[in-house]
């Protein structure tokens, strides 16, 4: 897996090919290509390239997918005993970038193809046995009460005896000293 650490707007992001990152708002149209020039680190499997401070000859190509707003942050300031209460909110503007390519300019790489697994059709045979008509008639002729009575238990259990305990009440007597 190839990824890079890039800098945009004074912040660092981990860019992975095929995934999106959210950076501070860029003034670009949705669908345009954008190059992140400042690459601080690039790794491809076991090979790691660390920049001092940036790696030369590596580019990260991204496509602007969307402009979004972040979650609302609420700031609240107050001064006790002075009736000063100030509540404010803020939503940060972000640009979502899809990382298309990480590498040297002009480099072409094979995309790893996932092996196609062939699905084998399971052959199933359906065997239908014909039942004699006499069985169906015999089931239909049974009374409904017999099946209900068979489901009910015949022996009833005696209710369990409840044990009660006598509550003793004790009165507290106030003794006054004279």
Residue whose entry in the numeric block shows the structure tokens 């669908």: 31
Peptide bond before 125: cis, by omega within 30 degrees of 0? Answer: no
pLDDT digits (tens, 9 = 90+) for 50-88: 988 899 889 999 999 999 999 999 999 999 999 999 999
Give the span between the Cα atoms of 47 and 70, in whole angstroms.
35
pTM of the model: 0.56
For the chain, the structural domain boundaries read 2-103
pLDDT tens per residue, range 113-122: 445 555 656 6
């Amino acid at each position: 897996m190839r990824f890079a650490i890039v800098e945009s707007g004074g912040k660092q992001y981990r860019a992975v090919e095929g995934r999106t990152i959210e950076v501070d708002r860029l003034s670009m149209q949705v669908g345009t290509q954008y190059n992140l020039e400042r690459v601080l680190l690039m790794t491809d499997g076991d090979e790691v390239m660390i920049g001092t401070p940036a790696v030369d000859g590596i580019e990260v190509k991204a496509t602007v997918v969307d402009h979004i707003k972040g979650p609302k942050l609420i700031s609240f300031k107050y001064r006790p005993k002075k009736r000063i209460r100030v509540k404010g909110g803020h939503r940060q503007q972000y640009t979502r970038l899809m990382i298309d390519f990480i590498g040297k300019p002009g480099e072409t790489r094979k995309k790893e193809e996932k092996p196609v697994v062939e699905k084998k059709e399971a052959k199933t045979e359906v065997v239908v046995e014909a039942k004699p008509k006499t069985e169906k008639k015999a089931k239909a002729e049974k009374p409904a009460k017999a099946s209900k009575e068979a489901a009910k238990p015949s022996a009833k259990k005696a209710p369990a005896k409840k044990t009660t305990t006598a509550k003793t009440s004790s009165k507290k007597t106030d003794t006054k000293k004279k």
